[in-house]
Amino acid sequence: MPLDNLIDGRAIAARVQQELAGRVAGLKQRGITPGLAFVRVGEDPASKVYVGRKEKCCAEVGMVSETHVLPAATTETELLVLLAKLNAASHLHGILVQAPLPKHIRESVIFSFVSPAKDVDGFNPVNVGKLMLGDDSGFRPCTPAGIMELLARSQVNTSGAEVVVLGRGNIVGKPMAAMLCQKGAGANATVTLCHSATRDIAAHCRRADILIAALGVPEFVKADFVKPGAVVIDVGVNRVPDATSKTGTKLVGDVAFAAVQPLVRLITPNPGGVGPMTIAMLMQNTVRAAEMAGK
């Protein structure tokens, strides 16, 4: 297989953002500026970085954002009071509560409290239910939605394809499977959802035309897991020891990239694959929320 087989998530995300900038300009002509609120509880270093990237992307597409930073000792009730204010704020079209939250705050309660009309993360049960029913009026979770966009813009035919999704999490695995098996363009796949209790997981992987790895296990997918000519999407973000790095660690995906890349038709790099698309889909959901609010 050729080694020029990377799916460039940064380039595709840049194209999506350029398209969104045009939609934002159109909204501004109607007196509507899409607004997105970020809520961060505590000082988790990774959360700071992620919110910073999202703030930057908002500015790049012409949206406005505001960030609410609460102390780690904030109670669940105090967070709900803030969310009630954000739900009611007419200048805001989207709300994102950055995970992880402190252990004393139940994420399920918080995500359920965000208004479904402003739930641009796609985690409110109303939007989860719409996804399962194939109702396009809801918001789809950003990472699996970004993967769908990567596949479509890379001209990967999913109709009738054997897709294996590694991981059954609520953020990626389950919604990913639900999106791919829907009846319609860009989906229509036959999906196998594998997890820690799956017997002979490698055999399932070798059957896949499209393999999506979202287990959170460093370099879990080896060369002998992959069918030659398959399309591989690596969602994992794992920090592992690295004596050659100044920090003593490095980031790797769920796929043993160097071993797998020569075997496959297309593969996402990590970083630079799925990550930029997750943020692009957050922007897309927010722009769409503003368009819906302006109707």
The residues annotated as belonging to the active site are 54, 98, 121
Inter-residue contact 290 to 37 (CB < 8 Å): no
Closest by CA to 108, choosing from 127, 129, 121, 125, is: 125
Helix (H) or strand (E) holding 37: strand 35-41
Q: What is the CA radius of gyration of the chain?
A: 19
Contact 283, 57 (CB under 8 A): yes
Q: Which helix (H) or strand (E) holds 13?
A: helix 9-29
Residue 238 and residue 256 in contact, taking contact as beta carbons nearer than 8 Å: no
Residue for token pair 């790895």 = 213
Q: Nearest 5°: phi and psi at 40?
A: -125, 130
SS3 262: helix
